């Protein structure tokens, strides 16, 4: 780490502490040449995930967009915000943990439907009806029959 006072590139760490609930590490350092002390912060570098949409356009993954879509599906249902937050956290974690830096919107939609199926079946059907773009009542009934046969 380069000293901000003399520019020397070697320093020793005197103290390290986690900050921001473990998201960053604060380090007190001392320059080996001039003996002045300074503070540095170390954070995890996150690589953005790119979403490939159905029309082949690309955009950055937006957690809030996913949350809002799931929230709309759960409107007037007995689903707490904590349950939704946890589901979105799980989906985001699985996307981040995959080695792919690009993920399709289809994959994200499937993950969201899997989570909603376990939380609330009505919310699941609502989300699926928009996500899968049901064309008519028969397509809708096929999805409902699949849900009933899984029980």
Q: What is the reported pTM?
A: 0.64
Tokens of 131: 């996500």
C-alpha gyration radius of the chain:
23
Task: Tell me how far apart the alpha carbons of residues 59 and 51 are, in angstroms, rounded to a whole number.
Answer: 5
Neighbour order of strands in the sheet with 37-43? 11-19, 24-31, 37-43
pLDDT in tens, 6-46: 999 999 999 999 987 778 999 999 999 999 999 999 987 77
Instruction: Break the chain into its structural domains and give their ranges.
Output: 11-43, 50-150
Q: Which neighbouring-strand residues pair with 17?
A: 26
Question: Cα dihedral angle (41, 97, 101, 60), rounded to 10 degrees?
Answer: -70
Q: How are beta strands 50-52 and 58-60 bridged, if at all?
A: antiparallel
pLDDT in tens, 71-114: 999 999 999 999 999 999 999 999 988 878 899 999 999 999 99
Q: How are beta strands 102-104 and 50-52 bridged, if at all?
A: parallel
């Amino acid at each position: 780490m380069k000293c901000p006072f003399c520019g020397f590139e070697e320093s020793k760490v005197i103290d390290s502490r986690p900050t921001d609930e473990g998201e960053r590490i604060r380090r007190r350092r001392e320059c080996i040449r001039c003996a002045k002390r300074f503070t540095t912060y170390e954070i995890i570098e996150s690589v953005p995930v790119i979403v490939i949409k159905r029309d082949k356009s690309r955009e950055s993954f937006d957690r809030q967009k996913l949350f809002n879509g799931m929230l709309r599906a759960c409107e007037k249902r007995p689903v707490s915000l904590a349950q939704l937050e946890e589901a979105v956290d799980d989906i985001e974690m699985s996307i981040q943990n995959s080695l792919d830096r690009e993920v399709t919107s289809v994959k994200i939609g499937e993950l969201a439907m899997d989570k909603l199926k376990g939380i609330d079946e009505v919310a699941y059907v609502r989300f699926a009806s928009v996500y899968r773009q049901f064309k008519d009542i028969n397509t809708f009934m096929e999805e409902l029959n699949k849900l009933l046969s899984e029980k």
